[in-house]
Amino acid sequence: MAVKRLLLTDFRNHADALLTPGADFVVLSGENGAGKTNILEAVSLLSPGRGLRGAPLSEMARQGGPGGFGIAATLDEAEIGTGTRADAPERRIVRVNGATAAATSLAQWLVVLWLTPAMDRLFLEAPGERRRFLDRLTLALNPGHAHEATRYEAAMRERNRLLADDRPPDPAWLEALEARMAEHGAAIDAARREAVAALGARLADQPAGPFARAGLALEGWQGDSSALAAALREGRRRDAAAGRTLAGPHRADLQVTHLDKAQPAHLCSTGEQKALLLGIVLAHAELVADRVGNPPILLLDEVAAHLDPGRRAALFDRLAGRGQVWMTGTEPALFEAVPATATRYRVADGRIDCA
């Protein structure tokens, strides 16, 4: 599971960039604003969703360019790509082996996980940010999770619209939407809980080391499809008054605890929170490798700058031989302990050169 060739066309600050990375470490160094994170974002868009920044598609096209952008990648068994056209800047186009495909189908070809500086506040943010983080972890273990989430959200939007209408909603249509939400919502909850249990067990079994061990728990609604259908039916008046649906897996929250200190993550220090997050991502990548048979692609943005030399060396040692790992940093010296087999690039003003 690796990108062998990556072509960017009018993406962010890259007018026309070609990379041919190796199968293990890929190191991108350069000054702030050079375009390193843009390359990671491009790789993240080879999976379902809006990528590691979660930005609108229209913002990804190069400023001053013709409009639209393209990302194309060669894998061992497929050619995949995504992008937009100038006349439809928010309509994502996905192609697999030359044929148009749904964005959710990308999960069948690549599992991409990432850790960025923006995620450092994950444990302090609103529950929605943690749900999105958990859904990415779940998707890597269960590719069908994206389909269930898409169907659930579409049905919920339509139900909310009906309840907000001044006219009484069609009871049959409302019941059909709630049945659809119940079916997909129960599947979402079950997949999340299975992922939390599997990852939590793996984290608990790990010995104490340079990366903090996290305890995981999913809080909020729990139940089967019949229970959710009943909750939605009984909550119609309340949801109409609130203008949104107040019961279901879209209200869940991922709770994280520092196991060795028995302390909630949001009460830990900034450094401890970073270590917890890094430990979760590393353990999850190893779990995916065991489950799928191939390690996922890891995107680690500016991760080395926040670690002391000993922890950097421990990180590189743990990642060695575990698949393709893309890392960024302002100074090449941060990656001196990375194996010599790494592919190294120097990024400057949208240009990419071999280092």
Task: For 44, list phi and psi in degrees, rounded to 5.
Answer: -65, -25
Task: For 10, list phi and psi in degrees, rounded to 5.
Answer: 55, 40
Please classify residue 237 by burial: count the beta carbons closer than 10 Å to its beta carbon, then call 0-12 exposed, 13-18 middle and 19+ buried: exposed
Looking at residue 88, what is its pLDDT?
A: 93
Looking at residue 196, what is its pLDDT?
A: 97
Distance (Å, whole) CA 159 – CA 163: 6
Domains of the chain from N-terminus onward = 1-111+294-355 (3.40.50.300), 123-269 (1.20.1050.90)
**What are the distances in angstroms from CA 260 to CA 60, 303, 334?**
41, 23, 29
Whether 210 shows a pLDDT value over 80: the answer reads no
Looking at residue 173, what is its pLDDT?
A: 95
Distance (Å, whole) CA 243 – CA 247: 13
- pLDDT tier at 275, thresholds 50, 70, 90: confident
CB-based contact 43:297 (threshold 8 Å) = yes
Average pLDDT over residues 275-294: 89
Looking at residue 223, what is its pLDDT?
A: 85
Q: Which residues of 29-53 are buried (b: 16+ CB within 10 A; e: fewer)?
A: bbeeebbbbbbbbbbbbbbbbbbbb
**What are the distances in angstroms from CA 330 to CA 19, 29, 36, 277, 345?**
19, 5, 9, 22, 12
β-bridge partners, 349: none
Average pLDDT over residues 326-335: 92
Average pLDDT over residues 125-129: 93
The H-or-E segment that residue 298 falls in is: strand 297-300
